[in-house]
Amino acid sequence: SRETPVRDIMTAPVMYVRPDQTNEECMALMTDNRLRHLPVMDDGRLVGLVSIGDLVKDIISEQKFIIDQLEHYIRGDR
C-alpha cells in the first residue's frame, strides 16, 4: 500500500560487491539471487551502483573487441 514503510518490503541483509570484483562474480551474484542492481561498497562506504545492464554492456563490448581482433588476424591486417 501507499502507507507501507520501505523497511517492511526491502531485502535484507543487503548484498553488495567490492570495486575489485569481476563482472563474472557480479553477474553470478545477481543471477543466483535474482537481483538487477548491486551496491558497490568500499570500506563500509557506498561508492557506486552496478546494474545488470552495465555488466551486459561491458561483456558485449569485450566480446566485440575480441571478434574485431580475430577478424584482423584472419584477414592478415596489421
Total of domains in the chain: 1
Cis peptide bond N-terminal to 19, omega within 30: no
Record the pTM.
0.71
Closest CA to 32 of 44, 46, 15: 15
**Residue 1 included in any domain:** no
- What is the average pLDDT value for the chain, to the nearest integer? 92
Closest CA to 14 of 60, 58, 53, 46: 46
Can you give the residue range of the structural domain that contains 39?
6-75
pLDDT digits 0-9 by tens, 48-68: 999 999 999 988 888 888 888
SS3 content of the chain, % helix, strand, coil (to 5): 50, 20, 35
- What CATH number did the domain enclosing 71 receive? 3.10.580.10
